[in-house]
Structure formats: C-alpha cells, structure tokens
Amino acid sequence: MIHVFLLFSLCFSDYGLILGVTSLGINYGQVGNNLPPPDKVLDLLTALKLKKARIYDTNPQVLTTFANSNIELIVTVENQMLPVVMDPQQALQWVSTHIKPYFPATKITGIAVGNEIFTDDDTSLLGYLVPAIVSIHGALVQLGLDKYIQVSTPNSLAVLEVSYPPSAGSFKGEVSGVMSQFLQFLSSTGSPFWINAYPYFAYKDSPNKISLDYALFNKNPGMVDPYTKLHYDNMLYAQVDAVVYAMSRLGYGGIEVRVSETGWPSKGDSNEVGATVQNAAVYNRNLLRRQMSNEGTPLRPNMRLEVYLFALFNEDMKPGPTSERNYGLFQPDGTMAYNVGLSALATSSSTSSASISLTSSATKVIIP
C-alpha cells in the first residue's frame, strides 16, 4: 500500500497553509510518472485549506474525485484541440462530454482554452484561438452553464513588447489584432485576463540589473514609475500592472487581471541563476503573506489580486531545463520540496483572520 507522507502541522485553529483567503489557488500539473492519485491530492489540498486549483486537461479521474469537495477547479482545453473546438458543434460536444457530466458536483469555475497560445512556437494555433474561445463559451450558453463558468486563456508575459516601466506596458505588434478580438470577448463576458508571470525569469536573464530582493518580495527600495509616480516594491505587481496598461492601450481598461501561474524553482542548471531552495521558499512565503492581506497592485489597490501558485508537485517528466521539474511545493511522495516556513497572523479582513504555518519539523501525517 502506498503511503503519502505529508509534512505539515495540521490543526483547525492554529495551522494549515492557508485559511480564509479566497484569492489564492494552486496549479496541479500531472506531467510525472510518480505522482500520487487524485484522492491523495484532494486530501493534501484539503489539509492545506486550499480551495482553488487549476489542471491542464479535463482528467476524468480528477474531476470525479474532486466532486462534492470545496475545491474550485479551472480546467483546460489542450492546445492541440483548438482547431477542433473552434467549430461550434464540436465545442458543444466537448463541453457536453468534458464539463456537463461533472458539474455542479465538481465546482468547475473556469475553462482555459489553450495555454500561452499567443507565444506558442506553433504560430498556426493563434488563428484558432478566438473562434475556439467563442465556441466554447457559446456551448456553455447553450447548456445554461455560462453564468457559472468563465472562459479565458492563460498568457505568457512574453506577449508584452514592453513591460517596464509598468505604465509603458504594450503588447507585441504581431499579436495586437487577435489580442484586440480576445479582449473584446473578455470585456463582453466579464471574464479575466490570465497571465503567467514569473519574476524568476527576469532575474535569471539579468541578475546584475535586477534586484533579487525586488523579485522575491523582500524589503527593498523598489521603483517608482516615472509617469504615474506609483511605487512598486516587487516585480510581480509591476508585471501585472504592465498588462493592465497594455490592455488600456488597445481600448480595454476595465478587464481584471489574474495571475494564472507564478512560482520560483528550487533547483536549476548551472546557468539558471537564482534557482535555489532558499529563494523558492522566500518567494512563496512572501507571496502567501501578501495574499493573506488580500492586496491589490499599486494601480488597482482595492482589487485583490487572484494568484495561482505554480506548482503543487515537482513533475519529473516535464521537458526543458532542470528548473522546469522543480517548481513544486511538494515532492511526489507528499513530502515538502522545501520548508515554506511561514508562520504569520493573517491581517483582519471582512471574512476571517487566521494563522498560517507550514514547517518541515511538524508531525508526519501518514495517509494510507
């Protein structure tokens, strides 16, 4: 019998990774051959008090297991399916097969149509994106599900031509036509713009120019946008606001930006500067602390920023550099990849206040 060892302190009054924070989710990737089964993953998410997760497909085992839980799920139409589901009838069949049988028992709240299509190496996919999004949304309307399930697509920060200073944010010219169509859809349906934002990448590429403390949310002088005079004490918020300005330049200033992925690798190749256990722990600890206070960005201080951490597990079959396989908070056996070490009292909010603690010195909880 496989045992999943969960290294965390667990007590409803004092412990648990997160409690009462509705703007935090986690990415549950499955590109590994040694990951725990979905029921053990649900146990882990429940123990950590996480109530939002994103998966990169519509794995029926996950959707079935997560039924009647408190986990809100974002599911994904895989990139290769875009040419198929751009046809309204095929989209209706896809939703009828992959969504309708599981909803509402499984709390599917979003459908990601593709992932990072605007910057994908296969440029032919971009032409399918908006028709696929419109068709999937149309299928939800036809089935009466559009009031419950949002449709969007996660984007790489590389979709921006300029991201610094934030007020100069603009999209790359070659994608502006399709981007305008996409933003029109988001505006008309009240859906969010999802961005995969990784300060780690910016730091890795320019460690001599970018402050590590600025990238990690540590105390630092920060930067002041010379045009808006807004002060930024961390890179993630600056990246998010750059997206807001880029949308405004195309005439869409009212769309919410949510971070569909962010994280920091705990291990990397020799040329991957900054990919260390210590930096990963600091980044995620500081981000969690910000989430506990329901912060917004300097441009939108009263709109709490929804963030999905990447990722729940280290995934051993992901291609690319070593860092790609080392973004997880947990190892596949359920032990922590590193000690997030967060123990802080949540700031008071309209809903609740709570302590957070995640320590590797805690009791091992063995789930058979």
- Active site (catalytic) residues: 116, 261
**Is-contact 33 317, C-beta < 8 A?**
yes
Q: Chain-centre distance of CA 285, in angstroms?
A: 16
Q: Which two tokens stand for residue 304?
A: 């709490």
Q: Which two tokens stand for residue 245?
A: 């300005």
Q: Which two tokens stand for residue 253?
A: 């200033």
**Is-contact 39 80, C-beta < 8 A?**
no
Number of Cβ atoms within 10 Å of the Cβ of 345: 10
Partnered with residue 128 across adjacent β-strands are none
Distance, CA of 157 to CA of 303 (rounded, Å): 21
Distance, CA of 92 to CA of 84 (rounded, Å): 11
Distance, CA of 86 to CA of 69 (rounded, Å): 32
Residue identified by tokens 């703007």 is 23
